[in-house]
Amino acid sequence: MNIICCIKQVPSTDSVRFDREKGTLIREGVTSEINPYDLFALEAGVALKEQCGGELTVLTMGPPQAEEALREAISRGADNGVLLSDRAFAGSDTLATSYILAKAIEKLGTWDLVLCGKQTTDGDTAQVGPGLAQRLGVPCATCVESIELIEEGKVRINRRLEEGTYTLACQLPMVMTIEMGANSPRIPSLRGKMRAKKAEIPCLTAESIGVDQVKIGLNGSPTRVSSTYVPEFSGKHELLQGSPKEQVDALIGILREAGIL
């Protein structure tokens, strides 16, 4: 089975800083890591490859240093890494990102399954996986927590949703986004680290994947972040005391006083 796993390098959650004037994340001088959700997608891919054979390629779009994320993924069990890096990609929103990733996947040749994390810890939209499936013209299953091969080209999956777990039989090819906590991501092995160090990571550009320049980058992105801010918490806090009934009565009194009821 040929599996492609999309991973994104994000600012480490303990070093995220915010430019309050510009309303943007400060990305310079910040340590980066593989998006934590993507480690579960990667582990699902490695486990499936071990079960069925085949190849697992990790793909990322980002600045040149995103190559580190690909090497780490190889040290955790992926076979190959492919970097998508070009100044023309900068500022791409989820629509443009899924278009660029889809064009790169088409360029990589035949595949059976594309895995993504459920969402990222920076953009946090959870749109890229479903957007990618739409672009590739295949079905998408989100919130997947387990994948098992039933027969050639067919898998059984569990999707964890709020109301319960859905078990589905699915025909490949398709895109899946993997739920946080779906498995226990393995740590890089010594052998894996050595393989990662030596791995050749090809870098694809806008020209090499043949994207329409009008659909990429800031100009090709229809969504705009008009403003961002860190919510400021202010106001007094009052803990209501007494029995549940007394607390409800006190709350109704407060809401009436404030003109809300």
Ligand X SMILES: Cc1cc2nc3c(=O)[nH]c(=O)nc-3n(C[C@H](O)[C@H](O)[C@H](O)COP(=O)(O)OP(=O)(O)OC[C@H]3O[C@@H](n4cnc5c(N)ncnc54)[C@H](O)[C@@H]3O)c2cc1C
Residue ranges in contact with ligand X by CB under 6 A: 6-8, 24-25, 35, 37-38, 41, 59-62, 92-94, 97, 101, 116-117, 119-120, 122-129, 225, 228
Q: In this complex, which beta carbon is closest to ligand X, that of residue 32 or of residue 119?
A: 119
Q: In this complex, which beta carbon is closest to ligand X, that of residue 81 or of residue 192?
A: 81
Q: How far is the CB of 15 from ligand X (least distance, A)?
A: 16
Residue number of the CB atom closest to ligand X = 123
Calculate ∠ Cα 187-5-204, nearest 5°: 115
Q: Could you tell me where the beta strands, DSSP code E, fall in the chain?
A: 2-6, 9-11, 17-19, 24-26, 32-34, 55-61, 80-84, 113-117, 140-151, 154-161, 164-171, 174-178, 203-204
Q: How far is the CB of 80 from ligand X (least distance, A)?
A: 15
Q: How far is the CB of 53 from ligand X (least distance, A)?
A: 23
Per-residue burial over 162-188, b if 16 or more Cβ lie within 10 Å, else e, is: eeeeeeeebebbbbbbbbeebbebeeb
The span from the CA of 193 to the CA of 253, in Å, is 64
Q: In this complex, which beta carbon is closest to ligand X, that of residue 36 or of residue 251?
A: 36
Per-residue burial over 64-102, b if 16 or more Cβ lie within 10 Å, else e, is: eebbbbbbbbbbbbbbbbbbbbbebbeebbbbbbbbbbb
Q: In this complex, which beta carbon is closest to ligand X, that of residue 132 or of residue 170?
A: 132
Q: How far is the CB of 224 from ligand X (least distance, A)?
A: 10
15, amino acid identity: S
Q: How far is the CB of 258 from ligand X (least distance, A)?
A: 32
Quick check: 76 and 46 in contact, CB under 8 A?
yes
The span from the CA of 142 to the CA of 125, in Å, is 13
3 state DSSP class of 183? coil
Q: In this complex, which beta carbon is closest to ligand X, that of residue 94 or of residue 183?
A: 94
Q: In this complex, which beta carbon is closest to ligand X, that of residue 16 or of residue 250?
A: 16
Q: How far is the CB of 16 from ligand X (least distance, A)?
A: 12
